[in-house]
């Protein structure tokens, strides 16, 4: 979730990004970068590995700069602009070649694509770098669908899944639409609706730490809707949300669990661990 309106420091000024404009997608490249995100790196490394395998199966060489860290979103959305700018500047230096940057998280992709432009608006030369990075930043589902034009053949057994999309992914990157199209390719997967799909899970990065009671109530609403949907599994392309949702389900002693889209796609289409 973007913490734009929930978690900014009192003196911080934040402007919601404009609605995404239709993109002109490039031809399928031969090489890409993967920006792995810190949550994937620390808590869901299998999602990053499966994202790489999906891209490699599409014939791409995937580069993973070892110096990458956080995108800077937690500091930025909490009002620590100078600290966020320092983190973002370090990331800009790592993706020097003119290759697409694929991100297995809509919220982190939104940070690179939209909010770096705000961070460096007063530094003309760095802003040029940020603009160039923004134009070649893609969320994983978006990249697979529109650049790779991936076509998946379902190798799994019939199942029902509920989709959860993070707030930033939905409102900044429109990736809930992209994920839906990818899931629709899997003929044995039924995507079921739930009445809280467009609502925040309560994570929001530091929001869940600073406002634990509100966050806990929000994730209980989310998990109730997921359980009532009849889904056998939850799928999301954002690991922060997955960590929050799965943690709540585990605390409730429920068997339902969420899985990152990359891992779900890889396993459903014949990939083996």
Tens-place pLDDT, residues 46-78:
999 999 999 999 999 999 999 999 999 999 988
Same domain, yes or no: 71 and 135: yes
Q: Identify the pLDDT of residue 22.
A: 64
For residue 121, being part of any structural domain is answered with yes
Residue 3 lies in a domain: no
Torsional sign, CA 208, 211, 212, 217? negative
Q: Do 216 and 180 belong to one domain?
A: yes
Domains in the chain: how many in total? Answer: 2
Give the other-Cβ count within 10 Å of 125's Cβ.
Answer: 7
The answer to whether position 212 is within a domain reads yes
**Looking at the domain assignment, is residue 40 inside a domain?**
yes
State whether 41 and 141 are in the same domain.
yes
- Is residue 273 scored above 90 in pLDDT? no
For residue 20, the 8-state DSSP code is: P
- 127, 195: one domain: no
- Does residue 115 belong to any structural domain of this protein? yes
Of 97, 114, 147, which closes a domain? 147
Question: Please, which pLDDT band fits residue 173 given cuts at 50, 70 and 90?
Answer: confident
219 and 173 in one domain? Answer: yes
Q: Is residue 188 part of a domain?
A: yes
Query: What mean pLDDT do residues 157-180 have?
Result: 90
Kindly state whether residues 227 and 128 are assigned to the same domain.
no
More confident residue, 196 or 251: 251
Once rounded to an integer, what is the mean pLDDT over residues 173-180?
88
> Quick check: is 207 in a domain?
yes
Q: What is the pLDDT of residues 220-229, one digit of tens each?
A: 999 999 999 9
Confidence band for 203, pLDDT divided at 50, 70 and 90: confident
Check residues 192 and 4 and name the one with the higher pLDDT.
192
Whether 203 and 261 map to the same domain: the answer is yes
**pLDDT confidence band for 19 (50 / 70 / 90):** very low
Domain interval for residue 219:
159-268
**Does 163 map to a domain?**
yes
91 and 167 in a single domain? The answer is: no
- pLDDT, residue 21, reads 55
């Amino acid at each position: 979730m973007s913490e734009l309106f929930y978690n900014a420091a009192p003196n911080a000024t934040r402007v919601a990004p404009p609605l995404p404009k239709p993109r002109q997608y490039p031809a399928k490249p031969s090489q890409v970068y993967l920006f792995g995100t810190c949550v994937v790196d620390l808590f869901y490394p299998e999602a990053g590995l499966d994202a790489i395998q999906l891209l490699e199966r599409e014939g791409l060489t995937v580069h993973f700069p070892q110096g990458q860290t956080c995108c800077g979103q937690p500091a930025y959305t909490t009002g620590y602009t100078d600290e966020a700018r320092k983190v973002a500047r370090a990331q800009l230096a790592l993706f020097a070649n003119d290759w697409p940057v694929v991100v297995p998280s809509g919220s982190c992709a939104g940070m690179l694509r939209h909010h770096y432009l705000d961070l460096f608006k007063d530094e003309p030369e760095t802003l040029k770098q940020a603009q160039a990075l923004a134009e070649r930043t893609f969320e994983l589902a978006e990249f697979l669908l529109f650049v790779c034009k991936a076509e998946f053949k379902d190798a799994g057994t019939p199942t029902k899944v509920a989709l959860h999309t993070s707030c930033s992914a939905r409102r900044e990157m429109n990736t809930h639409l992209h994920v839906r199209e990818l899931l629709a390719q899997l003929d044995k997967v039924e995507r079921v609706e739930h009445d809280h799909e467009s609502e925040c899970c309560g994570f929001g990065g530091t929001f869940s730490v600073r406002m634990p009671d509100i966050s806990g109530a929000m994730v209980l609403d989310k998990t109730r809707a997921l359980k009532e949907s009849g889904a056998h599994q939850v799928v999301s392309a954002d690991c922060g949300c997955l960590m929050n949702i799965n943690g709540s389900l585990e605390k409730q002693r429920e068997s339902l669990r969420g899985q990152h889209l990359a891992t779900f796609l890889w396993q459903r289409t014949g990939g083996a661990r």
